[in-house]
């Protein structure tokens, strides 16, 4: 695959810094967009020149126990792009055919790249909670905790799904942006108790935790009965929940890890139809190390994208 652009994601730290999941010496990058430059033996359904993308999950095997049950996300022989195999901080990369995402010609590479992981992560978390029995319906109150690389996209997706959106962040400086992105309400968690504010609004059917730092546990008190706390941001803080909340309020706590390549194509189609777009800063392959450091310090607004 000839790479056109690759997003810089916080999860790239798995391979850049020592981590149990990573392999030393791997090229980072799992938000890669480009064109097929050559096909491996036995590859079908794709042609040289096809515009494609690759996300975090590098492609399922189709034969393990999870795959045979249809759980392709849980495939036990699936590489993480840029972690177990070389990723998109490069001019060329290899990709497994089951991990390829067809990319519309009309969408720019710098727009698509962050949508392949950051966008897909929050899209799938929201859509999964719409599709399941007793799930979200139009007008339901959904809170997005954290207005950063994931959160600024989550607000857009949630609004496009006809949900009533509450953006929660620390400080008043992000209120104007959150409302412009589509939030109906903004809660400054430094100035007020976010759970109390959610309760005043009737309680959230879902709280989507997107921030990589901070404790989301207090937000459980802002859930409506049978509400759900869904985590997509990897915070070091444990989630603390009282058994009484689980039993008497029937609240649920879960996480969400992207999805399949086919679902990612649905994600791109949805984003294209509803004008969901990341806010990006552009950089070059030469300047990728400095851009990565900027992302890690939390200074990017809101996604860094390498143009190849």
- 57 sits in the region (left: phi over 0; alpha: psi -120 to 50; else beta) called beta
Q: Which tens digits make up the pLDDT trace of 189-231?
A: 999 999 999 999 999 999 999 997 778 999 999 999 999 999 9
Can you say whether the dihedral through the CA atoms of 173, 174, 179, 183 is positive or negative? negative
Span 267-271, mean pLDDT?
99
15-68 tens-digit pLDDT: 888 767 667 789 999 999 999 999 999 999 999 999 999 999 999 999 999 999
What pLDDT, in 10s, does the model give residues 137-152? 999 999 999 999 999 9
What's the pLDDT band for 156 if we cut at 50, 70, 90?
Answer: very high
Q: Check: CB of residue 113 under 8 Å from CB of residue 264.
A: no
Residue 176 banded pLDDT, cuts 50, 70, 90: very high
Residue 189, helix vs strand vs coil: coil
The ranges of the chain annotated as CATH 3.90.180.10 are 2-103+278-307
Query: Residue 17: its pLDDT value, please?
Result: 82
pLDDT of residue 235: 82
Residue 45 contacts by C-beta under 8 Å, 6 or more apart in sequence?
Answer: 97
Q: What is the mean pLDDT of the chain?
A: 96
Residue span(s) of the chain under CATH 3.40.50.720 come to: 120-255
Could you say which of 3.90.180.10, 3.40.50.740, 3.40.50.1820, 3.90.1150.10 is the CATH number of the domain covering 2-103+278-307? 3.90.180.10
Q: Strand 141-145 relative to strand 2-8: parallel, antiparallel, unpaired?
A: unpaired
In sequence order, what are the beta bridge partners of 186?
A: 167
Write out pLDDT tens, residues 74-106. Answer: 999 999 999 999 999 999 999 999 999 999 999
Burial 64-83 (b: 16+ CB within 10 A, else e): bebbeeeebbebeebbbbbb
Superfamily per CATH, domain 120-255: NAD(P)-binding Rossmann-like Domain (3.40.50.720)
pLDDT score for 22: 64
Measured distance CA(109)–CA(101) in Å, rounded: 13
pLDDT at 107: 99
- What is the percent of the chain with per-residue pLDDT over 70, rounded to a whole number? 98
- What percentage of the chain carries pLDDT values higher than 90? 92
Q: What is the spatial distance between Cα 119 and Cα 154, in angstroms, rounded to a whole number?
A: 7
Average the pLDDT over 161-176 and give the result. Answer: 98
Q: What is the pLDDT of residue 236?
A: 82
Q: CA 160 to CA 267: how far, in whole Å?
A: 12
Give the pLDDT of residue 12: 94
């Amino acid at each position: 695959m000839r790479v056109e652009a690759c997003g810089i994601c916080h999860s790239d730290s798995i391979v850049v810094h020592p981590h149990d999941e990573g392999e030393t010496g791997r090229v980072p990058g799992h938000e890669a967009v480009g064109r097929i430059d050559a096909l491996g033996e036995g590859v079908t359904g794709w042609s040289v020149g096809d515009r494609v993308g690759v996300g975090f999950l590098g492609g399922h095997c189709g034969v393990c126990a999870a795959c045979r049950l249809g759980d392709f996300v849980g495939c036990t022989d699936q590489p993480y792009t840029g972690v177990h195999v070389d990723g998109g901080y490069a001019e060329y990369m290899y990709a497994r055919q089951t991990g390829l995402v067809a990319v519309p010609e009309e969408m720019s590479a710098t727009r698509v790249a962050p949508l392949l992981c950051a966008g897909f992560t929050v899209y799938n978390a929201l859509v999964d909670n719409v599709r399941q029995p007793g799930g979200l319906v139009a007008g339901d109150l959904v809170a997005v905790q954290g207005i950063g690389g994931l959160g600024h996209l989550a607000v857009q997706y949630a609004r496009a799904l006809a949900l009533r959106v509450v953006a929660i962040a620390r400080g008043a400086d992000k209120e104007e942006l959150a409302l412009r992105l589509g939030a109906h309400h903004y809660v400054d968690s430094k100035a007020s108790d976010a759970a109390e504010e959610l309760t005043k609004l009737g309680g959230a059917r879902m709280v989507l935790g997107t921030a990589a730092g901070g404790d989301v546990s207090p937000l459980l008190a802002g859930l409506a009965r049978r509400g759900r706390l869904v985590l997509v941001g990897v915070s070091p803080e444990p989630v603390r929940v009282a058994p009484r909340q689980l039993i008497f309020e029937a609240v649920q706590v879960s996480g969400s890890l992207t999805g399949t390549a086919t679902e990612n194509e649905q994600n791109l189609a949805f984003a294209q139809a509803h004008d969901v777009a990341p806010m990006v800063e552009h950089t070059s392959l030469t300047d990728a190390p400095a851009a990565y450091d900027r992302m890690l310090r939390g200074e990017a607004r809101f996604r860094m994208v390498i143009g190849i």
